[in-house]
Amino acid sequence: MSTPVRHYVGGGFDACGDPFPLVDPACGRTVAEVPAASATLVDRAVNAAREALRGPWGAWSPADRSRVLHLVADGIERRFEEFVAAECADTGKPRELAATVDVPRAIANFRAYADLLAGRGEHSWHTGTPDGRGALNYTVRKPLGVVAVISPWNLPLLLLTWKVAPALATGNTVVAKPSELTPSTACLLAEVTAEAGLPDGVFNLVHGEGANAAGQWLTEHPGVDAIAFTGESGTGTSIMRAAADRLAPVSFELGGKNAGLVFADADLDEAVAGTVRSAFTHSGQVCLCTERLYVERPVFDEFAARLAAETRKLDGYGPMISAAHRDKVLGYLTRAAVDGEVLAGGGVPRFGDDRDQGFFVEPTVLAGLSEDHPVVREEIFGPVVHLAPFDTEEEALALANAGPYGLAATVWTRDLARAHRVAPALEVGIAWVNTWNLRDLRTPFGGVKASGIGREGGDHSLDFFSEPMNVCVKL
């Protein structure tokens, strides 16, 4: 561990609270202890954030804030290897993934919002619109106040900074609560924000679990003005209840059961390679991963055979985040083996080293299950994809759009007209055509149905984290 796990409140580090173990999922060993924040500490953090709103931070111009966000990005860049090592230690993910996705994206998150703010200039936040009837109207954009940011374990730094950066860009103060399973990079981030010159209390960090613990105390706190949350849909429901009492705005990025559609005219080499990525990146523990793939019948057998063959070749993949999550995924695989067909994987790999005590699951391709089977309906969040055939475009769309979730989808086809017909008809927040997880941080990001509330990314984030106010002056 590169850095001890500590809370960061009002500009000071603190390790108070009952400790709980931090387990390395790649070998099952306890590697550190995490202090669980008490309700009193959460209260102190919210109060520190409120106090900071009234301090110098409140007077910083957008240009000042843009500069400090770039300094935070510089700080992560300077300590790149420490961040990578901490992210790998907490999640067990391969170094390459943390070094090419998680940490670079965290840097990009800060730079993107810093640039967006600078690009808008000092005055574009105040747009004058005379109405020609003797009055001048203008809009003032204000911060929401104290924002709680609650994040999951799968892309810990990336998803935390995805919300912290725009919240700070718009002048809010933040109390962050990362997943109890992956607290380390958030601590490094706290150090970097201090080094960058963010005033005390602007960014605060508390550790602990969710229900009946730091997460819940934070979302229920009357001093929290808005909640930005990424995690399971069920947790979103609980948080929305907590926010409802005081009508606090929420932005939710939630679970998914993402579909892919492979049409017979697709470039099958690309569709197979793309599906290996979309199903098995980070061992399927990315909210955007494909868990249901529908393949047009004439190419179903060939596609299934090729995907299974490529899947069997995979090595160097990381573990499930915890023993409990591994057991949950294996529970689905046991049912799938009874009710359907296992085309590749399906069990626990044996390495003959430390990893045999870790929480690994083989990348798995399934087929033959009905659409109402739990494996096809419920989010597994592991290295598992189920294949089923379809005959018509209408059927493909109906299959993809079934179910409670609506986060992301992929379409593989060489027919341009079909691509433009099918993609917008998908009931999701993001549809990729002939690719997966290609991101431009200015585009709207989020889900429909049980996959989320609101959109983040670019201006969408700046809009959520700020409140527009109209001033009308009679001339």
User: What is the C-alpha separation between 6 and 41, in angstroms, rounded?
Assistant: 12
405 and 256 in contact (C-beta within 8 Å)? yes
Q: Quick one: how many helices (H) and strands (E) in the chain?
A: 16, 22
87 and 184 in contact (C-beta within 8 Å)? yes
Nearer to ligand NAD, 171 or 255 (CB): 255
27 a catalytic residue: no
Q: How far is the CB of 437 from ligand NAD (least distance, A)?
A: 11
Nearer to ligand NAD, 62 or 382 (CB): 382
Residue 134 to residues 127, 128, 130, 471, Cα–Cα distance (Å): 17, 13, 8, 14
Secondary structure class of 275 (helix, strand, coil): helix
Nearer to ligand NAD, 170 or 219 (CB): 219
Q: Which residues contact 463 (CB under 8 A, 6 or more apart)?
A: none
Q: Name 412's bridge partners.
A: 262
88 a catalytic residue: no
Q: How far is the CB of 103 from ligand NAD (least distance, A)?
A: 17
- 182, with CB counted inside 10 A (0-12, 13-18, 19+), is buried
Q: How far is the CB of 289 from ligand NAD (least distance, A)?
A: 9
Beta strands in 144-269 (DSSP E): 146-150, 173-177, 203-205, 226-230, 250-253, 258-262
User: What is the C-alpha separation between 274 and 73, in angstroms, rounded?
Assistant: 30
Nearer to ligand NAD, 173 or 451 (CB): 451
Q: How far is the CB of 177 from ligand NAD (least distance, A)?
A: 6
Sheet with 203-205, side-by-side order of all strands: 12-14, 7-9, 203-205, 173-177, 146-150, 226-230, 250-253, 452-453
User: What is the C-alpha separation between 450 and 232, in angstroms, rounded?
Assistant: 9
Q: How far is the CB of 244 from ligand NAD (least distance, A)?
A: 13
Nearer to ligand NAD, 303 or 381 (CB): 381
Read off the tokens for 402. 């079934």
Q: How far is the CB of 444 from ligand NAD (least distance, A)?
A: 12
Q: How far is the CB of 461 from ligand NAD (least distance, A)?
A: 13
User: What is the C-alpha separation between 74 and 71, in angstroms, rounded?
Assistant: 5
Find the catalytic residue in 88, 187, 287, 289.
Answer: 287
Nearer to ligand NAD, 28 or 215 (CB): 215
Chain residue whose CB lies nearest ligand NAD: 210
Q: How far is the CB of 179 from ligand NAD (least distance, A)?
A: 4
Sheet with 341-344, side-by-side order of all strands: 341-344, 364-367, 384-390, 290-296, 258-262, 408-412, 430-433
Which residues form the interface with ligand NAD (CB under 6 A)? 150-154, 159, 177, 179-180, 209-211, 215-216, 219, 230-232, 235, 238-239, 253-256, 287, 379, 381, 407, 447, 452
Find the catalytic residue in 87, 253, 379, 456.
Answer: 253
Closest among 384, 358, 386 to 372, alpha carbons compared:
386
Nearer to ligand NAD, 200 or 291 (CB): 291
Read off the tokens for 311. 């899947």
Nearer to ligand NAD, 166 or 389 (CB): 166
Residue 7 to residues 36, 215, 421, Cα–Cα distance (Å): 9, 14, 50
Residue type, 355: R
199 and 172 in contact (C-beta within 8 Å)? no
Residues belonging to the active site? 253, 287
